[in-house]
Structure 1
Amino acid sequence: MFTSCKKFLDVQPESDVDKEQLFNTEDGFEETLNGVYSRCTKADLYAGNLTFSNLDIMAQNYTFSNTDFQKIASFQYSQNILKDKNSQIWSSVYNAIGNCNEILQVIDKQKAVFSGNNYAIIKGEALALRAYLHFDLLRMFGASYKSNPNAKGIPYVTTVSIKSTPFSSVGEVINNAIVDLRNARALLSSTDPILSPAYIVGYPNKTYPDGYVGPKQTETMVSSLFLQNRRHRLNYYAVCGELARVYLYKNDYQNALSNATDVINANKFPWTQKDDAFNNNVEQKDRVFYNELVFGWYAPQANENNALVTLFSAANVAQYQPTPLQLDNIYEKNTVGAEDWRYRQWFFTATDVTPNRSYLVKYLVNSSPLKNLHPLMAPGFRLTEAYYIAAEAIYDSNPTKAIEYLNTVRTHRGIIDLLPATLGKTAFINELVKDARKEFYGESQIFYMYKRLNLDIVAASGQIYPASNSIYVFPIPDDEAAYNN
């Protein structure tokens, strides 16, 4: 695998001299790091395949007439549509990792070019991105830790070289990611602006009523553009969240709980208010529960030429939508879910098509000249996931607290029926997974949860795909397998 890196975005440096000049200034490091985020928000990664496309399809969230989508939903990895997409994901992720390694290879030598805390922030984010990207790739192309921690994983690339990096085991990849994330957390723990009490999370385009008294967001009020909107980057709390995610994958419940509660107890990310979620003024409507995003991929280009609007609409003849009955079942309309905010606000049911279809409007963007309450984001880590992780991690030692964590999420989604404190482990996990599926609709995280727990996947038709490597482990792309044998 070639990991020699591109300059920021997709521009190739013409020579090593160009790269040296790039990293002679703080701006050069900032541009390169910004380029990693920009690369990750292309349609082949987090503004497409890894958020509201392939993995969400595999989680059986939609019903299709399009044969390519049907092949993805039925895990036909030998078909060209999946071979091509998976190869694209693989190469694009490693391209982004290569950019991180370009930064990390030289940043310690160039410490003198940085002002303020930018050395620690840039290095911390680069380490965190490297871990985040490797871990997501492992969750696709490696066996789950639960099934076999010693199984072949992926190469964990930490150098800039034309030489291939050997494959590591699943357990080794996880441990390497933990090292990078812990180092990132240490660097950001005293330098990240998000830690300041003066850093207030909120909507950038909120209109407040006359006489309003209360906290208003300061995320866009920082003089340095690079340090604005810390939730659009892998900030300190995002690193804690990712550490919790990785530790849970490893079944290290103590460390998973510790990092998840760091996010929860920060009280930095306010729960969405019903008035914002249900606002009839489309310019003041929160569709994605923006304030609860600990980290999200800023992806305005995801809707270029109305791409997302077209994807989730009647105009899409491929029927990239669930049926109303499918949604009713997922959100438990006939029992606890009739008033679930997610069920009521994230979907629109069109009756002008036969059969009727429901469309995901979580990512709907107002057309100019109308404004949007918040930018278009592909969620990377939610406050609710911290609660899910904490609940699962603490259940064995304190089931009452675990159920309290899960009930907190349900309550903030309009579900008034509380789960009983006497809920057994199997029933608890079942309720946890059901709520996570509701929360992560259109975000792909539920596929990873199914895999981590080694659960069978049930299609809308009732067909069961038994948990196995045949559905959960993506084949290594042919070019990589041939080159890095």
Structure 2
Amino acid sequence: MKKTIYSIMLLIGSAFALTSCSDWLDVSPKTEVREGELFSTEAGYRNAMSGVYILLGQKPLYGVQASMYVPEFLAHTWTTPSESTDASAFYLAKNDYTNSNVESTLDDLWSNYYNAIAQINNILTNLQSSSVAFTGNQRQIMEGELYGLRAFLHLDLLRFFGPVPSQTDGATACIPYVKTLTTDVANLKSESYDAVKADIISDLDKAESLLATSDPIVESRASADDPARSDDADDANVDLDDNDIYRQLHFNYWAVIGAKARYYYWIGDKEKAADYARKVIEAKDKAGKQVFALCNEAYYSAHSNANLTMKMEQLYGVYNSSYQDDIYRAYYSTSDPLFTQNEEYVKTAYESTLYPDDIRFKSSRYWKSQMADNAIITEYHFLKYAFNGSWYGYNTVPVMRLSEMYFILFECASIADMKPYFATWRLSRGLDASIDATLTTESAVVSRMEKEWRKEFMGEGQMFFFYKKHNYQAYTWPTAYTVPTGAYQLPKPKSQTMYE
């Protein structure tokens, strides 16, 4: 169903319920009263914040559509299904945005992003005028998270619906940057590319300033190999109301720094992109412990039941308590799974002959030929999101990871500066550093990174943005494909453009 941002704003004005986070999207004639009650206590604000994070982890956004569905079919990560199996995926893979199924999918993606942004603006507006006495620095943490999330979601909208960054003069109308709840359609017109960029970095700057002195992750964050952490209990019963513990599932300080690296990488400011990426890579807490650690074979060997989403690397991830039942089984583990790929193509992608010890591919770790329940045919299943028995990283989808920071640094730092980091990252993945000598030019680095982005971020929705960032004219994997002119800028809904 097509929706406009205008209709979303009218509906969302006070769309919160008090009974639980799961029904917080309740919209009723009594919403003004319910909102007043919700924002009368710190617990109410926590509940509202939790509701935003729950929304982001659902199917319409990072649970499926914004991560493993739309961008992955655009990048040909998965085998293209038949039209009768999934018409939207079939035509997405052809970059046919005129198809009614694709049009509906993209309209819904747009609307769901702005729905989430409306919720953020609603909380932020109330928070900034609130007389509630918050404990400690909780007000500051919430405000920082809200500014950071608002910027981050607009950045992803820009990456989806904006122009190829190297192909715009900056004055072209791009997307709306929505900072307030409004019913004035004139306020929802798209801003220029340059204006959107300015708004994104302004919000990220505010978030960084607020969280730098308040976020618990800055003070203390046990590294992945710290024996003080209980891998068997970390995410068993996630309570997103808890602002102090589940920092990787909240838009924390380091997520803001990572978002700045992603932002500067996207707009082509290499120096700043490399600086912010390096800050994350080298981040330490006040005790001098490394905040994020690269996953490696030693970790998997020590934790035979480890989940494969590399939680220790996640700057920010979304949580969905029903993920295994509603998403993994539905898309990955069924007979004839929608998210799959030809085994030989996957072997080619992982360069399995050259690198048999790749920790993501060896021993059928990420990909395995097996039968689904009640099936009689062996099929190729992607296991990144399967529950392996550990609660650490359970039911989470990575949205931004440490590896992305390394990859940004590889492309944006000088070749001499990036090589030690490149060797560190490759060794963590069970790859030798033998190709270092071939990385003598910027084009050689980008060519190598095409392969690395593909291997590293399968199922996470990043490959399409790599292609768009570099304006690839053709894909060579899984098969040769010429990208149609204009395919990288997804069309805004007609219900939006009619007001512009």
TM normalised by structure 2 equals 0.86
SS across alignment from 1:363: coil
Of 20, 26, 36 in structure 2, the residue corresponding to residue 11 of structure 1 is 26
Output the amino acid matched with 2:26: V
**Distance change >3 Å, CA 354–CA 334, structure 1 → 2:** farther
Partner of 1:180: 203
Of 300, 321, 330 in structure 1, the residue corresponding to residue 340 of structure 2 is 321
Partner of 1:343: 361
What does residue range 7-86 of structure 1 map to in structure 2 within 5 Å? 7=16, 9-12=24-27, 14-67=30-83, 68=87, 69-86=89-106
Partner of 2:291: 268
Give aligned pairs, total.
Answer: 462
- Structure 2 residue 411 is the aligned partner of structure 1 residue 388: no
221-230 or 383-392, which deviates more? 221-230
What does residue range 453-472 of structure 1 map to in structure 2 within 5 Å? 453-458=470-475, 460=477, 462-466=479-483, 468-469=485-486, 471-472=487-488
What does residue range 260-299 of structure 1 map to in structure 2 within 5 Å? 260-266=277-283, 267-278=290-301, 281=304, 284-299=305-320
Of 227, 247, 254 in structure 1, the residue corresponding to residue 271 of structure 2 is 254
Partner of 1:414: 430
Following superposition, the deviation at residue 184 of structure 1 comes to 0.4
Following superposition, the deviation at residue 214 of structure 1 comes to 4.1
Provide the rounded CA distance (Å) in 2 between the counterparts of 1:371 and 1:390. 31
- Structure 2 residue 147 is the aligned partner of structure 1 residue 105: no
**Distance change >3 Å, CA 408–CA 332, structure 1 → 2:** same
Provide the rounded CA distance (Å) in 2 between the counterparts of 1:323 and 1:314. 16
Provide the rounded CA distance (Å) in 2 between the counterparts of 1:214 and 1:280. 12
150-159 or 353-362, which deviates more? 353-362
Following superposition, the deviation at residue 278 of structure 1 comes to 4.9
**Distance change >3 Å, CA 35–CA 310, structure 1 → 2:** closer
Question: Does the CA-based 8 Å contact 1:141-1:476 persist in structure 2?
Answer: yes
Output the amino acid matched with 1:40: L
Output the amino acid matched with 1:288: T
Provide the rounded CA distance (Å) in 1 between the counterparts of 2:279 and 2:428. 20
Give unpaired runs (5+ residues) of structure 2: 18-23, 284-289
287-296 or 372-381, which deviates more? 372-381
Provide the rounded CA distance (Å) in 1 between the counterparts of 2:303 and 2:144. 41
Partner of 2:156: 136
Following superposition, the deviation at residue 365 of structure 1 comes to 2.0
Provide the rounded CA distance (Å) in 2 between the counterparts of 1:317 and 1:229. 32
Provide the rounded CA distance (Å) in 2 between the counterparts of 1:80 and 1:226. 42
213-222 or 137-146, which deviates more? 213-222
Q: Percent identity?
A: 25
Question: Does the CA-based 8 Å contact 1:146-1:452 persist in structure 2?
Answer: yes
**What do residues 28-57 of structure 1 show as CA deviations (whole Å, max 9, x unaligned)?**
211111111111111111000111112111
Provide the rounded CA distance (Å) in 2 between the counterparts of 1:215 and 1:271. 18
Provide the rounded CA distance (Å) in 1 between the counterparts of 2:352 and 2:238. 44
**What do residues 138-161 of structure 1 show as CA deviations (whole Å, max 9, x unaligned)?**
111111221113332110000111
What does residue range 328-477 of structure 1 map to in structure 2 within 5 Å? 328-335=347-354, 337-344=355-362, 345-350=365-370, 357-366=379-388, 372-395=391-414, 399-421=415-437, 423-458=440-475, 460=477, 462-466=479-483, 468-469=485-486, 471-477=487-493
Question: Does the CA-based 8 Å contact 2:76-2:478 persist in structure 1?
Answer: no
SS across alignment from 1:154: coil
Question: Does the CA-based 8 Å contact 2:96-2:102 persist in structure 1?
Answer: yes
Provide the rounded CA distance (Å) in 2 between the counterparts of 1:472 and 1:16. 41
Give unpaired runs (5+ residues) of structure 1: 204-212
Question: Does the CA-based 8 Å contact 2:307-2:386 persist in structure 1?
Answer: no
Question: Does the CA-based 8 Å contact 2:40-2:132 persist in structure 1?
Answer: no
Output the amino acid matched with 2:386: L
Provide the rounded CA distance (Å) in 1 between the counterparts of 2:162 and 2:245. 36
What does residue range 127-206 of structure 1 map to in structure 2 within 5 Å? 127-148=147-168, 149-164=170-185, 165-197=188-220, 199-202=221-224
Question: Does the CA-based 8 Å contact 2:318-2:396 persist in structure 1?
Answer: yes
Partner of 1:210: none
Question: Does the CA-based 8 Å contact 1:59-1:446 persist in structure 2?
Answer: yes
Give the aligned CA root-mean-square deviation in angstroms. Answer: 2.7
TM normalised by structure 1 equals 0.88
Partner of 1:312: 332
Following superposition, the deviation at residue 394 of structure 1 comes to 1.0
